[in-house]
Amino acid sequence: MGRSVARRLAVLAVSAAVVSVGAAPPSSGTGGNGSGPAEKVPVAVGYGGAVASVDADASAAGVEILRKGGNAVDAAVATAAALGVTEPYSSGIGGGGYFVYYDAKSRTVHTIDGRETAPLSADSGLFLENGQPIPFADAVTSGLGVGTPGTPATWQTALDSWGSERLGPLLKPAERLARDGFTVDDTFRSQTASNEARFRNFPDTADLFLPGGALPVVGSTFRNPDLARTYRELGRKGASALYRGELAEDIVDTVNEPPVDPASEYNARPGDLTLKDLAKYRAKRQAPTKTSYRGLGVYSIAPSSSGGTTVGEALNILENTDLSKASDVQYLHRYIEASRIAFADRGRWVGDPAFEDVPTKELLSQRFADSRECLIKDDAVLTSPLAPGDPRDPAACATGGKAAPTTYEGENTTHLTAADKWGNVVAYTLTIEQTGGSGITVPGRGFLLNNELTDFSFAPASPAVHDPNLPGPGKRPRSSISPTIVLDRHAQPVVALGSPGGATIVTTVLQTLTGFLDRGLPLVDAIAAPRASQRNQTTTELEPGLWNDPLRTQLEGIGHGFRQNPEIGAATGVQRLPNGKWLAAAETVRRGGGSAMVVRPAP
């Protein structure tokens, strides 16, 4: 938001965080070593490196690695593994994600596409029966929606490329956390409750997440000994153990014959995953997207995710507006319209570049952005669904063509951000798709499988419109994940951030960046500010902080329509400060608040 509304709505939550900036985090922060549960603090400042995530135990695992001399990549892997324990409905080795890394020595940004892939047997009719799309809910809780996991391969690729430690030692904090347990909070219980009905369809899932047949009690200790053993196996054998051997066989068996409770009478459609699908999987190192904004370099993930191109295009559209001087209404209006346009173009042009001709460079050109920016009027609102432009042949203010739909993406993902004493930075978003993924636990292994293939379009919206996001053999479904690193003119980090939230990830990252870079908000304030999300739909989603604000009425006067969303995203970030100091920031309220930690807090 602008300075006035953001400070008005965030000041109470942030003030408590600022008081705690100097507090040192626990030595490891996990209940697993007897130190008790780690404390959640949403902002921390200090030296030696920093970690921010949604969970205190996970942030503490990353800080533990930094204290032992590990770098940001090592810390990111350790944090991600711990999130697989404490945030099992959002992430885990049964899923995938996207990893963005800044190398301080070369001052360059690198990325890994660790997105899940469709089976080699998949085609555009993957989700069709008798020529019609199957119900979305049926695809979500099935083997049919499970893609080949990419998370372990992402960890191994990152460590082989830029890490300083082997996988085994980095999994130890998470293994300990899974074995000895963590303290159940309100978020974990409520997410379990929202999945209870479908979890009961699968005995292995119910045994793990509904201990004794009941919801876990807030304040109780939750243990996952099966996952501890799985982490120990991966630590000994490396990430390849998930793609070959007994663990791979267990995954294939589970996908192709989902272990349903016969008494439930639930029809869990089988998948068609093979050992060959797992053996052929590779996490892909690739160049980042890059756009220039206010003289800064903004780097993110390229397709198969749409995050980098969509955030980048929206920033290019906003480049010609001085958002620092705009009123709150003008700022929100421009931000909403830039998001609407960028999503219109994403829907037409972005898919897996191994299968689709994705004009990434053209989507990120200022020439194309200028041809789209001229659609925005100060006293009127664009109508959605808005037709896409053609980045290969930009025409000023063009409105022809057919609109492409915004596919549904599950909102429960997780993001972590890490930095080390050498100046390396990681922004890493990982997921198993929607809350609880497929709902199917691999028996005896302690982790849920993803349902990422439901991010594909089930069928073309119109025969007249090419859809780049239809399923295909070995294809990666389009994502909205947007881990982002911003560099200054000297190629030094300014800020790194990201968020979960399905398609709202793009708008959360865009709004947080503009709040921080343009509106002058401290990072934790920019993260805490109430959000709006427009994704080329007839109405824009608003969190309660904006829904209940007079700004809504003023925006409606221009022509905006709104619907309420109780919570959008859960961002984390790190900011480089002078003289080797880092600021880590996380949510103050969303998902129960996030956890920011540094190695040595500043006095």
Going by the annotation, the residues of the binding site are 115, 455, 479-480, 502
Q: How far is CA 549 from CA 474, 542, 564, in A?
A: 47, 10, 12
Which residue reads 């293994």 in tokens? Answer: 175
Active-site option among 86, 413, 417, 508 = 413
Separation CA 332–CA 554 (nearest Å): 11
Separation CA 302–CA 328 (nearest Å): 31
Which residue numbers belong to the known binding site for L-glutamate?
A: 115, 455, 479-480, 502
Q: Are 476 and 452 in contact (CB under 8 A)?
A: no
User: Residue 36: left if φ>0, alpha if ψ -120 to 50, beta else—which one?
Assistant: left
Amino acid in the structure at residue 52: A
CA 445 to chain centre: 24
CA 541 to chain centre: 19
Q: Are 46 and 55 in contact (CB under 8 A)?
A: no
Question: 226-239 burial string, b = 16+ CB within 10 Å, else e?
Answer: bbbbbbbbbbeebb
- Write out the two tokens for 106: 């070369």
- Write out the two tokens for 553: 């009425």
Q: Are 578 and 2 in contact (CB under 8 A)?
A: no
- Write out the two tokens for 480: 């909205």
- The 10 Å Cβ neighbour count of residue 36 is 11
Q: Are 479 and 306 in contact (CB under 8 A)?
A: yes
- The reply to whether 205 belongs to the active site is no
Which residues are known catalytic residues? 413
